[in-house]
Copies of this chain bind each other. A is one copy, B any other.
């Protein structure tokens, strides 16, 4: 495939982007609307002249498979390194559908919002009357519910886990594809008490917050930094063949971030514990993505690990096709100009680029891009 040279994107994510839609991308703004002076309004209103800073970029689609050679062919562009548009596009790919929030019902447990369920998916849950209830629903089978909650008889985490698990099994692959038999904790926020545990594949159908650990493994040589990049196995059910971090994984129930990272380091890249314990927690990125009945609310804890030049990663679980070491500047160009990376990895790498000085405050859109990494 290689570079298409076309700016219109048609990707795995089923999103079609144009320059216009990009400029109209509404970040979730942390201030009441009347106070907002966000990026899109600046672009759309009196400062059209600023648009000249966003030089047209060459974008590659990831519709088809690609090889390491395609990655290597992404040409460095010293002239347009200040053009942040390619990064904004990647943030947007992880934050689709904010205008569709009204199609979702809040999912409450013990007075706390733990998720959001699409009206259409909620209809599937209505027949499980001993598990899900829809208070204030004056028309059973209709869509007047104000929220969803669990049946009051399900008073303990164990009861809830079992009952909801049975529903997930009953709905099966037709409604919840990719069941992994891996449980995620359901809480009101990270570290809060666990109300119950839910099959990982079902999390986005219930709009549950999901957490992961992503690690940038890098090497420093003669004052220049290089990132180890993985390429996912073509056999993986999700994002086959796409580029990935050296190490990344979901955070299952009952394991701390740091411990999970050490485990993933061993399984995914053959990094022994005495090396991986030196990984540094450096922050987090987050995104909210609505696609059909799913509402992803993901938080990725970010880690950096500086590796010795002699290090060679070795995948142990068959999920990675191979690893290669690239100059950080080339990784930045791959992020900006292609869709080769698994979308959420882009956010973690953009965060790395910010923290390591590869994106400069002088670049137009710096603050807006920085803010867009955490919603």
Which residues on A are within 8 Å of B, measured CB to CB? 28-32, 34-39, 41-42, 45-47, 49-50, 101, 106, 110-114, 116, 188-193, 256-258, 280-284, 299, 301, 354-357, 359-362, 364-368, 370-371, 374-375
Contacts and interface: CB of A to CB of B under 8 A. Distances in A.
B30 A357 contact: no
Nearest to A50: B192
Name which of A301, A361, A362 has the most chain B CB atoms within 10 A of its CB: A361
Contacts of A42: 112, 188-189, 192
A194 to B, nearest CB: 11
A188 B37 contact: yes
A283 B61 CA distance: 29
Contact of A45 (B38, B49, B112, B301): B112
Contact of A101 (B35, B36, B357): B35
A362 B190 contact: no
Contacts of A257: 360-362
B258 A360 contact: yes
Given A190-B366, A366-B191, A284 B45 contact: no
B113 A35 contact: yes
Given A283-B355, A361-B284, A31 B189 contact: no
Nearest to A375: B30
A353 to B, nearest CB: 10
Contact of A361 (B28, B38, B45, B258): B258
A299 B113 contact: no
B45 A111 contact: yes
A69 to B, nearest CB: 32
B282 A31 contact: no
Given A41-B112, A46-B110, A281-B361, 12 more contacts: A42-B112, A42-B192, A46-B112, A47-B188, A49-B193, A50-B191, A258-B361, A258-B362, A281-B354, A282-B355, A282-B357, A301-B361
A191 B362 CA distance: 8
A358 to B, nearest CB: 9
Contact of A191 (B282, B284, B364): B364
Given A362-B258, A375-B31, A354 B283 contact: yes
Contact of A284 (B37, B192, B367, B374): B367
A289 to B, nearest CB: 14
Nearest to A363: B191
Contacts of A28: 30-31
Contact of A189 (B37, B111, B188): B37
A361 B301 CA distance: 7
A46 B112 CA distance: 8
